[in-house]
Amino acid sequence: MSQSRHVPVMLRQCLDMLAPALDEPGAVVVDCTLGLGGHSEALLTRFPEARLIGLDRDKEALRLSGERLAPFGDRATLVHAVYDELPDVLARLGVPRVQGVLFDLGVSSMQLDEADRGFAYAQDAPLDMRMDQTTGISAAEVLNTYPAGDLVRILRTYGEEKQAKRIVSAIVREREKEPFTNSARLVELIRDALPQAAKRTGGNPAKRTFQALRIEVNGELAVLERAIPAAVKALSVGGRIAVLSYHSLEDRLVKQVFAAGAASTAPPGLPVVPERYQPRLKLLTRGAELPTEEEIAENRRAAPARLRGAERVREDVQ
């Protein structure tokens, strides 16, 4: 297994953010997006008293990270699960509260680098894009069966693609001749459909469409919408959560959950704010932290990353 290709993004910042919660003996940290285990390996190494629970929906990622984390023995528990299943996983393992949670959203290096997964627009591959290949519908099925209106909505909402109508018209026209199966044909179609001006900026013109399809196929935003509040709820007081996002839709969602948790819910004008209205979270970042220029130069996949963190400062009061 080539671990050299997997460079964890903003690793030092993530570890520093979680450190105050994980230095305690017996601390439990959850890596909700295990991938190839780069962040997890660093967490277990830096915090020798901590236990780790790692989640991933991709069985191949679990196998590879299992090999990587084997030296840590029973300090690492790896579970095949999507990250919005966190409450069920913790209940099964008999862990009522955790001290740290890490999310590294987006596609793992492995999924981008394995040609046959269909995530990367730079190489021809079957249009699959499922993070868990044992379940759900593929990107090809989405392209071949969704009504045009739904495809336009997906490209606009999830890909922030301004040329969505143009691209979808071409997709609908082409799929009537022959269903889509491979990524190269889709990339070529997008290139041909876009006006010259749109092709001159922003890297590969297929990037936004591929992002949109991946988010739709894996239900990423719906999962995240459930997962972040569930992770906050699982934190003990003093526990910390760190979230790495790679596009504005994810980042906005994380920001909203954190901002709501860090705000008082008291009616305006109360002279003393009762406990039940006090903020449950303290924000650990002003806005989002960005990767350094040095890191981006070494690892281009870090370029769009945004890191936000929060600390649990109070229990929910019913």
Residue numbers in the known binding site are: 37-39, 56, 83, 104, 111
Residue numbers in the known binding site for S-adenosyl-L-methionine are: 37-39, 56, 83, 104, 111
Predicted structure pTM score: 0.83
281-283/306-312 β-pairing: antiparallel
- The CATH fold assigned to 116-218 is DNA polymerase; domain 1 (1.10.150)
> Mean pLDDT score of the chain, rounded to an integer?
89
**pLDDT band with cut points at 50, 70 and 90 for residue 133:** confident
Please check whether residue 110 is in contact with residue 36, taking contact to mean a CB–CB distance below 8 angstroms.
yes
Q: With the CA atoms of 153, 155, 157 and 159 taken in that order, what torsion angle do they form, in degrees rounded to the nearest 10?
A: 180
Which spans in the chain are helix H? 11-22, 38-46, 59-69, 86-93, 109-113, 139-145, 148-159, 164-177, 183-193, 196-199, 207-218, 220-234, 248-261, 293-298
Superfamily covering domain 11-110+220-312? Vaccinia Virus protein VP39 (3.40.50.150)
Query: If you average pLDDT over residues 117-133, what whole number do you get?
Result: 74
Between 7 and 289, residue with greater pLDDT: 289
- pLDDT at position 201 is 63
- pLDDT at position 1 is 35
Query: If you average pLDDT over residues 42-48, what whole number do you get?
Result: 97
- pLDDT at position 143 is 96
Please check whether residue 99 is in contact with residue 57, taking contact to mean a CB–CB distance below 8 angstroms.
no
Q: Quickly count: other Cβ atoms within 10 Å of residue 9's Cβ.
A: 23
- pLDDT at position 107 is 61
**pLDDT band with cut points at 50, 70 and 90 for residue 301:** confident
Please tell me if the domain spanning 11-110+220-312 has the same topology as the one spanning 116-218. Answer: no
Between 199 and 230, residue with greater pLDDT: 230
Query: If you average pLDDT over residues 13-31, what whole number do you get?
Result: 96
Domain boundaries of the chain, sorted by first residue:
11-110+220-312, 116-218
- Pair of tokens at residue 199: 């092709």
* Burial classification of residue 286, based on how many CB atoms lie within 10 Å of its CB (0-12 exposed, 13-18 middle, 19 or more buried): exposed
How far apart CA 184 and CA 105 sit, in angstroms, is 25
Which pLDDT tens digit goes with each residue over 102-118? 999 866 544 444 555 45
